[in-house]
Amino acid sequence: MDKHLSRSDGISVLEIRGLGVAYASESGQLETVRDVSLKIGRGEVYGLVGESGSGKTTLARAVVRYLPRNGRISSGSVLLNGIDLLRLSPAEMRRVWGAKIAMVHQDPSAAVNPSITVGEQVAEVARIHLGLSRGQAWQKALEMLAKVQLPDPGSMARRYPHQLSGGMLQRILIAAALVTSPQLLIMDEPTTSLDVTTEAVILDLIRDLLEGYETAVLYITHNLGVIANVCHRVGVMYAGQLVEEGSIQQVFKHSLFPYTMGLMGCVPRIDVVKRGIHLNTIPGFIPRPGEWPRGCIFAERCPIVEDACKDTRMPLVERAPGHLTACRRWMEMDQVHLAFGIKDKVRPELNRAPGSTWLEARDVKKHFGSRPSWLTRALKRESAIVRAVDGISLRAQAGSTVGIVGESGCGKTTFARCVVGLEQPTAGEVKLDGKRLGSTWAKRSPEILREIQIVFQNPDASLNPWHPVGTSVGRPITLRGKLPRSELDLQVRQLFRAVRLPEDYTSRLPNELSGGEKQRVAIARAFAASPSVIICDEPVSSLDVSVQASLMNLLAELQASNETTYLFISHDLAAVRHLSDRIAVIYLGQIVEMGSAESVFAPPFHPYTEALFSAIPIPDPDVHQERIRLRGAVPSAMHIPSGCRFHTRCPRKVGGICEDHEPPWQDAGDDHLIQCHIPLQQLLAMQNSNADPNAVSVSAEP
Amino acid sequence: MTAYILRRLGLILLTILVASMVIFIATQLLPGDVAHVILGQFATPAAIENLREELGLNRPAVVQYADWLARFVTGDWGDSMVSGYAVRPLVLARLRNSFMLAVVAFSLYVPLGIALGVVAAVNADRAIDRVLSALTMVFVGLPEFVSGLILIGTLALSWDLLPANSSINPDSGFVEAFPYLVLPAIAISLTCLGYVARMTRASTIDVLRSDYAMAADLKGIPRMQVLFRHVLRNSLLPTVTVVAVSVGWLFGGLIIVESVFGYPGLGRLLVYGIQHRDLTLIQACSMVVVTIFGFANLLADVLYGVLNPRIRFAQR
């Protein structure tokens, strides 16, 4: 990493000085970015990290002067190689866009034009800025597609966006951005909407590509792991301000701002064995624009706040070479460790009766699509049957958590819906306490329906926007039987206390709550029915890391006090590892590996688990990760590969046997099962000869 | 794509079939005894019985319908109950006239509506957009007979720019008829103009706010090129549907506008048929309108498919 630093030769490509951005709103001008200054040198990748609402995207939009109509730059200047962009006319600015500053956007499938071929979307940039002819521009586009490692650029270029996967589209956007070798490249969460295996491949690509360009990069993300993996320097944004800046080593290893330290503690780590302990949380909320305190922006939530902090705001000051902080008590960071309780608080362990299976799914299948219609048959088209869930069996012991992990499209949500009875399984059965359940909710008794509850990923869509949240939470209680009004109120208030929401929130409407608060309401509603099973379908995925941490703690506490059984579904291995007792890894509608959380995360792995594991960017610059990358995207569930369904992407494929025969289940001991042709001893040897993740995790412990 | 078109075609034919049943029931079964209608209330029972036999009215309704539909499809649209002449040549001649009027209206409101919609969208929430939106709202709300009368009062009577009455010789050619077509065309256009403009505005605003429009801007593509190559190509998709469906509206509007202006088209013929209880004529006119409406919708679906690569290249 340090060799990159030397590439920056002191001349700044981008220099932002005292930038402020304000939005016109009903209550006047609201500042959303205040007094931000930073410099990015040639060939340098500058990471800007912050939670949602921290103003990082607004900052990027201000740099390219593409703010919404009600937004304006209220102060400061933006210099690109010495030219003040804020003085340029709109027409001049348009000549800067694409030529000198290029952008890669968050959601690739939304950022490409659906009705233009992807090759043309790269070629047009070459025509406009490089003055190439149609034919030359097309050649240039093919060249760029090859550079971003898209297979067969000639045919790829003629495809339309809907024919490409998200990872391929992000390559197209990167290709389009690099056509002109711009001076500055802004990447706004370029991998956030991608699956973790695809993210890893794209991050590799970005790292490798940038080696060959002198481009300065402003890399925006909320993901600390990504920052540690691709950036040279990092700036931490909080509520519209830059609160800390330094090299990756400095910020990740010797942070000088309490917020940064808190943020690092919030992230569940894949490489550190920490089950049974609390994640850090940062108390309180990000102050909203218009409600910023007079003093330090973080004062209200800071564990080492003193009176002086509340009175005056510290500017960003260089305290060590290249390391800037806005904290006046930067010398006392050790106290933050103590105050945030980074001394691992132990989570209450459950006393479980071992072996008693509470929830069981047996060979559950869900196939979508119907028999071919007369028309498809007449036209000799293939009928499309989507085998979303293709035979999943698992057991959950009472009061334990079974984690289900896999990439998007692997069938985990469909499986969850089959268990709750929202979908009727094509085959298989679900048992609760040994009793077989009706195949859909309509065939289940009210008592059974009460027993199994679900928390959905998106609380915005799962709470009725017209009902006060107290009503939503009270509804499952009234369904169980009539209660006097006062008794109901009491119970609802108790539930709100249990999920750490103020009791007076009961009368609020969902839109008056933040995302994390809404998800707390959804959790309270699930517990209101006193269920024995709760299915958590990506309950924290749409939330910020600090909010994620407090919700995961909450889920763990509620489980301990109510002895609830969880099915915890997530694409986030770290979150699954943090909460689960047992883990099932799903690929294309089937389980490929299953075992206790500890055993699944230690060799021998199923090759798919191994790849998932190595794809996760670890927020620690000192950890060296083995690079195991998967080719392409998950195949369509309409055309499931023969034999081992993972063979098309498996980096450890042994040969024809993988294509022809379904692999056997192998028992690695302690109820740890792996479905693979490779003998376990051999898998273990291969995986140990690479980096042993456990060994890594030991070395990473402070 | 072939499967897509075939499926659409099947659905449209089914729609027309259902509509034909409704028309048949409404004209032949519901009015009671058609023989009574034809012969009047003072006819002798024997004469009525004779006519019923002759017209096949004693057969079961399903048989009557099948027979009627078969003859309609093969081109035998029956004789007028009033004049006794064959209905088909008359209807087709008037259809030609209505078609001329529709063409003028169509070429008036489609380009104008799209242009107004795009201008409003590009200037969303500015004064010009507010004015255009209010105006198109008025257009949508104004019934054809009101706008027709206003047009006659101003353009024809007060300023004497165009003829107020369009009751031309039914056999006139297009050039001859053109001056008489303008006013009624404007009158029919206004409603459709409003719809097209509002739909174009809404979808263009959506696309202008999309990530890919922003991405196109930030590639440094000239503003006009962004608008025409990146934005309109996508935002006009819903407009295509509205335009095609508006063809059906257009023929509905003809009934009123042709009456207001006295123009000898299909609409006026239909009104005439209704006034004189000429059931055969009503059936023929209605079936023609329904068929046009159906195929306008088919055209909309096919165009949508051709313009949208997601459908053009879809496996299903």
Give tens-digit pLDDT for A471-523: 999 999 888 878 888 999 999 999 998 888 888 889 999 988 888 889 999 99
Round to whole Å and give the CA distance between A529 and A455.
Answer: 12
Mean predicted confidence (pLDDT) in A632-639 = 79
- Same domain membership, residue A465 and residue A439: yes
For residue A345, is it within any domain? no
Reduced to 3 states (helix: H, G, I; strand: E, B; else coil), residue A488 is: helix
Question: If pLDDT is split at 50, 70 and 90, which confidence band does A6 have?
Answer: very low
Mean predicted confidence (pLDDT) in A242-270 = 88
* Parallel, antiparallel or unpaired: strands A241-247 and A233-238: antiparallel
Round to whole Å and give the CA distance between A560 and A554.
Answer: 10
Q: Which of A81-85, A274-278, A489-493, A659-663 has the lowest mean pLDDT?
A: A274-278
Q: What is the pLDDT of residue B59?
A: 80
Backbone phi and psi for residue A83, each to the nearest 5 degrees, phi listed first: -95, 130
For residue A346, is it within any domain? no
Residues 6 or more apart in contact with residue A435 via CB below 8 angstroms: none
Q: Which of A4-8, A63-67, A185-189, A485-489 has the lowest mean pLDDT?
A: A4-8
Instruction: Specify the length of chain B in residues.
Output: 316
- Same domain membership, residue A556 and residue A449: yes
Question: If pLDDT is split at 50, 70 and 90, which confidence band does A84 have?
Answer: very high
For residue A157, is it within any domain? yes
Query: In total, how many domains does chain A have?
Result: 5
Angle at A219 between CA A624 and CA B223, to 5 degrees: 150
Q: What is the pLDDT of residue A696?
A: 37
A281 has a pLDDT exceeding 80 = no
Chain B residues with CB under 8 Å of A129 CB are: 220
- Same domain membership, residue A552 and residue A418: yes
Reduced to 3 states (helix: H, G, I; strand: E, B; else coil), residue A16 is: strand
Shortest CB distance from A379 goes to which of B2, B212, B217?
B2
Question: If pLDDT is split at 50, 70 and 90, which confidence band does B128 have?
Answer: very high
* A356: its two tokens: 């008693």
B25 has a pLDDT exceeding 80 = yes
Mean predicted confidence (pLDDT) in B138-147 = 84
Tell me if A113 and B313 make a contact (CB, 8 A cut-off): no
Mean predicted confidence (pLDDT) in A46-60 = 90
Which residue segment(s) compose the domain that A150 sits in? 111-179
Q: Does an H or E element contain A219, and which?
A: strand A216-221
Question: If pLDDT is split at 50, 70 and 90, which confidence band does B157 have?
Answer: confident
pLDDT in tens, A22-52: 998 888 888 899 999 999 999 899 999 988 8
Q: What is the pLDDT of residue A377?
A: 62
A275 vs A642, which has greater pLDDT? A642
For residue A474, is it within any domain? yes
Mean predicted confidence (pLDDT) in B98-115 = 91
Q: What is the pLDDT of residue A504?
A: 85
Q: What is the pLDDT of residue A370?
A: 59
What share of chain B in percent tops pLDDT 70? 96
- Same domain membership, residue A120 and residue A34: no
A97 close to B220: Cβ distance less than 8 angstroms: yes
Question: A311, A339, A367 — which closes off a domain?
Answer: A339
Question: If pLDDT is split at 50, 70 and 90, which confidence band does A342 have?
Answer: very low
Q: What residue spans define the domains of chain B? A: 2-73, 88-312
Q: In what order do the strands lie in the sheet with A386-397?
A: A386-397, A357-368, A427-432, A435-436
Q: What is the pLDDT of residue B120?
A: 94
A362 has a pLDDT exceeding 60 = yes
A648 has a pLDDT exceeding 80 = yes
Round to whole Å and give the CA distance between B296 and A498.
Answer: 60
Over chain B, what is the mean pLDDT?
A: 85
Chain B residue with minimum CA distance to A123: B219
A701 has a pLDDT exceeding 60 = no
A329 vs A141, which has greater pLDDT? A141
What share of chain A in percent tops pLDDT 90? 43
A237 close to A49: Cβ distance less than 8 angstroms: yes
For residue A544, is it within any domain? yes
Angle at A123 between CA A118 and CA A127, to 5 degrees: 155
Residues 6 or more apart in contact with residue A519 via CB below 8 angstroms: A455, A459, A539, A540, A543, A547, A551
Query: Pseudo-torsion of CA B134, B135, B137, B143, nearest 10°?
Result: 150
What's the CATH code of the domain at A492? 3.40.50.300
For residue A503, is it within any domain? yes
Mean predicted confidence (pLDDT) in A318-341 = 81
A699 has a pLDDT exceeding 70 = no
Mean predicted confidence (pLDDT) in B105-133 = 92
A contact set with B (CB within 8 A) = 64, 66, 94-99, 101-103, 105-107, 110-116, 124-125, 128-129, 160, 162-163, 173, 176, 375-376, 379, 381-382, 384
pLDDT in tens, A513-550: 888 889 999 999 999 989 999 999 988 887 888 788 88
Q: What is the pLDDT of residue A3?
A: 40
Reduced to 3 states (helix: H, G, I; strand: E, B; else coil), residue B146 is: helix
A78 has a pLDDT exceeding 90 = yes
Q: Which of A462-476, A591-605, A638-652, B154-168 has the lowest mean pLDDT?
A: B154-168
Residues 6 or more apart in contact with residue A136 via CB below 8 angstroms: A126
- Same domain membership, residue A638 and residue A617: yes
Reduced to 3 states (helix: H, G, I; strand: E, B; else coil), residue B171 is: coil
- Same domain membership, residue A396 and residue A486: yes
Over chain A, what is the mean pLDDT?
A: 86
Crossing angle for the helix pair B174-208 and B144-151, nearest 10 degrees?
Answer: 120
B136 vs B313, which has greater pLDDT? B136
- Same domain membership, residue A118 and residue A167: yes
Q: Give the homologous superfamily in CATH for domain B88-312.
A: MetI-like (1.10.3720.10)
pLDDT in tens, A190-209: 988 888 888 888 898 898 88
Chain B residues with CB under 8 Å of A376 CB are: 3, 316
Mean predicted confidence (pLDDT) in A426-447 = 90
Question: If pLDDT is split at 50, 70 and 90, which confidence band does A340 have?
Answer: low
B contact set with A (CB within 8 A) = 2-3, 6-7, 10, 210-212, 214-223, 229-230, 233-234, 307-310, 313, 315-316
Q: What is the pLDDT of residue A690?
A: 57
ipTM of the prediction greater than 0.85, yes or no? no
Token pair 């008829």 is found at B177
- Same domain membership, residue A214 and residue A78: yes
Most confidently predicted of A36-50, A151-165, A197-211, A296-310: A36-50
- Same domain membership, residue A545 and residue A402: yes
User: From the CA of A111, how many Å to the nearest CA of chain B?
Assistant: 4
Mean predicted confidence (pLDDT) in A639-643 = 87
pLDDT in tens, A376-394: 566 655 557 888 899 999 9
Taking CA atoms, B61 is separated from A31, B55, B64, B78, B217, in Å, by 76, 13, 5, 18, 64
Question: If pLDDT is split at 50, 70 and 90, which confidence band does A5 have?
Answer: very low
Chain A residues with CB under 8 Å of B6 CB are: 375, 379
Q: What is the pLDDT of residue A194?
A: 83
For residue A344, is it within any domain? no
Taking CA atoms, A510 is separated from A171, A459, A475, A516, A519, in Å, by 38, 9, 15, 11, 10
A67 close to A58: Cβ distance less than 8 angstroms: yes
For residue A349, is it within any domain? no
Round to whole Å and give the CA distance between A300 and A302.
Answer: 6
User: From the CA of B260, how many Å to the nearest CA of chain A?
Assistant: 44
Chain B residues with CB under 8 Å of A105 CB are: 211, 214-215
Chain A residues with CB under 8 Å of B313 CB are: 160, 162-163
- Same domain membership, residue A45 and residue A8: yes
